[in-house]
Structure 1
């Protein structure tokens, strides 16, 4: 075993490969062969990754990301059959190479490790548990500062996965892919997915909404109807769900949360104080498909759109009253796209969500000419969805979209939303 944990200090490690600094160069491709086994209360994973170098550079290391909450242990790593040194900072996991991977060459990375699923209950919805190969762009590996970048990092590369499993008395579902036999799932052209492990006796209810396959696991029939109805309502607002499959899980031992392509809820979706959170978490599943170019400065885009979608679902807002309230309460204004660490106290929430959201509502109201004002936010959100769902976006891209949509200049936009 070769595993070295280094403190979270940026200057203690470099994730830049040797061999050049090409521009316009995104050249990494990978195929995964994975096996999942259960031992007592934890899982053992064996992952073989065939990595191809399609760039113009030679690499002396590879950069992977582990989901931060996974906390794998007893990690063993080989590259082309030889033991390899590894380094880990936050969610980043680097593998030093004994020999360069040159352009058009490939290497096979094999990892074995163990992890705890993190959730109790008869149905376990497991966060992505495999190391995700990073992006190699413009001559370097993309490095992200935050721990929580596994599912949200700005990446467009997709991989092919073959998952086999040996879980006595259990069956497995994934939020993407298809079963090819009783213990194998093929997952093609996908970045991240979640895994559902459940007893063999639990059956899923399979339905469709538009082009989306919806699997309801351990869900009471009335709640299936509620879930499908909410998906239809959200598709009417945002547009089609940006994925082929969506899994609903109910379990009385679980809290409410969402994973890639998966929504987990405790039993009984009907009414209750959690209904607002239920819709909020569902909305996140749509916007999780958008890749932020700079996680620390572009986060305001998702902040604003998720809340606007929730408000539209609930009937909209009085834009003029909201803006008037902001004018009275806000003593100063900061740009929406500062690094999140540059905001103090409540500034992050105020300037990356509340103020730009109020400004967008005002722009929507001012620009809408039709009598049916309820359609205005739906049209705006639908246009945004058509443009950016499943794509990468930056603050600059968002500014261009807003200027074009509302037929205003960049200077006029800055009268509503302050951008650095």
Structure 2
């Protein structure tokens, strides 16, 4: 930190000296004026004390030369772009979705843009692009992209959709774009999937990327999450050919079949939507504090909704008590064997004898991935490793047998990377899992066992979420905050498994 401050002062040396001279002169004038006004009983009550007033003025003046991110080392990372989504979605009798997405994109960067970048993951799952393990591909076609009725040229490669602008979009300006396309989900696909008469829409719409010296949109990588999206506001109108159970990232309300409706929500990273055949599901509803809980379990098997709900209630309440209150009005749990997290909704195992670990892990993601966000392509450990660690600590507290057994077992299945904050494409597939879900949770647990135990661990996590709620972090931000909380001696621990010298 001292080196950081020193560098900052050197960069602004001349301005800083001039500023000090100006402050000295100005402070003298203030003292003089204050001495005059002190004798005037009509205005004394409106004045700040001299020390407080001088400090306030100095802070206002120094704002000019100290950037916000340099003043607060633990501030989050700007996404550079934000979006408001208004989407019309209609499903026809041939299982094809007709989708029209109107998106208001605001430039929050310091650059003027000549293009706008989206993830369009359905294109990465077509027959031409899909991962080898997928038997069936998605079918999608963009029929038009417009703004104010004028066509916008675009490029679509893998999951990277770039809209070419005819005029620069300057900082703080907004551009409304409309993207019309069709989508047929792959049967038994990867996250985006149709299973019988159930439709799981994950990463199904054009998702605005992050902007920092260009659009940070990587190619699709199925071994992890390769998309880094911004918090956004959503309004989605849907029309269906028959009635379905609807579960989404919005607040859906009573569990009841419907053929049309509107879904809306704010501060959502990526919007998930499930349309489910009512005959295929056992359901249950409950609540914890201010959050409604809804559970869906396949009706073809045993009805263990009560067991799943009991764990859901306990885990959610535990994380709220030990880490932070969660703002979700509703959390949906779908036992479709997806094993995946989305804002306010998760997919978990359908096996009544083996569902708890995945359920607890995915619930914990509502804090680490959703409340505190990171780029899962470059820093996947920040959500996956922390989540697995948190889930295991919960199981310790609740008396589960061998709560870290999953992490220990997977850490031994393959070699692990020495430095764990690698981008997805630099991991071998097996090494990614052994490192992120195995080695790293064990490292974190070992550190806190020697430094205050579970109380210290949860105190740190609580402070971390409070600092970065609805914000973005990277490895360097995490390390800064960790050292701030645990002292300079902790830097040696971090350097033993994190590359903190990246550009």
TM-score category (smaller protein): 0.7 to 0.9
Separation in structure 1 between the aligned mates of residue 310 and residue 496 of structure 2, nearest angstrom: 41
306 and 212 in structure 1: CA distance in 2 versus 1, 3 angstrom threshold: same
150 and 279 in structure 1: CA distance in 2 versus 1, 3 angstrom threshold: closer
1:292 pairs, out of 350, 353, 374, with 374
- How many residues align? The count is 380
CA shift, 1:95, in A, is 1.9
Separation in structure 1 between the aligned mates of residue 238 and residue 403 of structure 2, nearest angstrom: 52
1:398 pairs, out of 478, 482, 485, with 478
CA shift, 1:38, in A, is 1.3
Separation in structure 2 between the aligned mates of residue 48 and residue 211 of structure 1, nearest angstrom: 32
Structure 1 unaligned blocks of 5 or more: 1-23
2:388 pairs, out of 278, 290, 307, with 307
121 and 390 in structure 1: CA distance in 2 versus 1, 3 angstrom threshold: farther
SS of match in other structure, 1:140: coil
CA shift, 1:195, in A, is 0.8
Matching of residues 196-275 of structure 1 within 5 Å: 196-199=274-277, 205-217=284-296, 221-222=305-306, 223-241=308-326, 243-250=328-335, 254-260=336-342, 261-265=344-348, 267=350, 269=352, 272-275=353-356
Structure of greater relative contact order (alpha carbons < 8 Å, 6+ residues apart): 1
2:241 pairs, out of 168, 180, 191, with 168
Separation in structure 2 between the aligned mates of residue 204 and residue 255 of structure 1, nearest angstrom: 16
135 and 362 in structure 1: CA distance in 2 versus 1, 3 angstrom threshold: closer
Separation in structure 1 between the aligned mates of residue 268 and residue 446 of structure 2, nearest angstrom: 38
Give the alignment's TM-score, normalised by structure 2: 0.63
CA shift, 1:102, in A, is 5.0
Partner of 2:84: 31
Partner of 2:217: 143
Partner of 2:421: 337
Q: Is the 8 A contact 1:175 1:262 kept in 2?
A: yes
Separation in structure 2 between the aligned mates of residue 108 and residue 400 of structure 1, nearest angstrom: 38
Give deviations 1:285-320, integer Å, cap 9, x for gaps: 432213225x4442233343122223212217799x
Q: Is the 8 A contact 2:416 2:435 kept in 1?
A: no
Matching of residues 373-412 of structure 1 within 5 Å: 373=453, 375-409=455-489, 411-412=491-492
Q: Is the 8 A contact 1:73 1:115 kept in 2?
A: yes
Separation in structure 1 between the aligned mates of residue 390 and residue 377 of structure 2, nearest angstrom: 22
Separation in structure 2 between the aligned mates of residue 91 and residue 291 of structure 1, nearest angstrom: 21
Partner of 1:96: 164
1:185 pairs, out of 263, 279, 290, with 263
Q: Name the larger-Rg structure.
A: 2
Separation in structure 2 between the aligned mates of residue 186 and residue 333 of structure 1, nearest angstrom: 41
CA shift, 1:77, in A, is 1.8
123 and 265 in structure 1: CA distance in 2 versus 1, 3 angstrom threshold: farther
Give the alignment's TM-score, normalised by structure 1: 0.74
Q: Which structure has greater strand proportion?
A: 1
Give deviations 1:348-402, integer Å, cap 9, x for gaps: 455555444443323212222xxxx554443344343333453211211222233
363 and 143 in structure 1: CA distance in 2 versus 1, 3 angstrom threshold: same
CA shift, 1:205, in A, is 4.8
User: RMSD of the TM alignment (CA)?
Assistant: 4.1
378 and 273 in structure 1: CA distance in 2 versus 1, 3 angstrom threshold: same
SS of match in other structure, 1:367: coil
Partner of 1:8: none
> Given the alignment of the two structures, is residue 77 of structure 1 paired with residue 144 of structure 2, yes or no?
yes
CA shift, 1:114, in A, is 1.9
Separation in structure 1 between the aligned mates of residue 211 and residue 413 of structure 2, nearest angstrom: 45
Partner of 1:364: 448
Q: Is the 8 A contact 1:399 1:410 kept in 2?
A: no
Give deviations 1:38-85, integer Å, cap 9, x for gaps: 121232212222334465654332211123548451211232223333
Structure 2 unaligned blocks of 5 or more: 1-68, 70-77, 127-137, 186-191
SS of match in other structure, 1:361: helix
Partner of 2:202: 127
CA shift, 1:266, in A, is 5.7
Q: Which structure has greater helix proportion?
A: 2
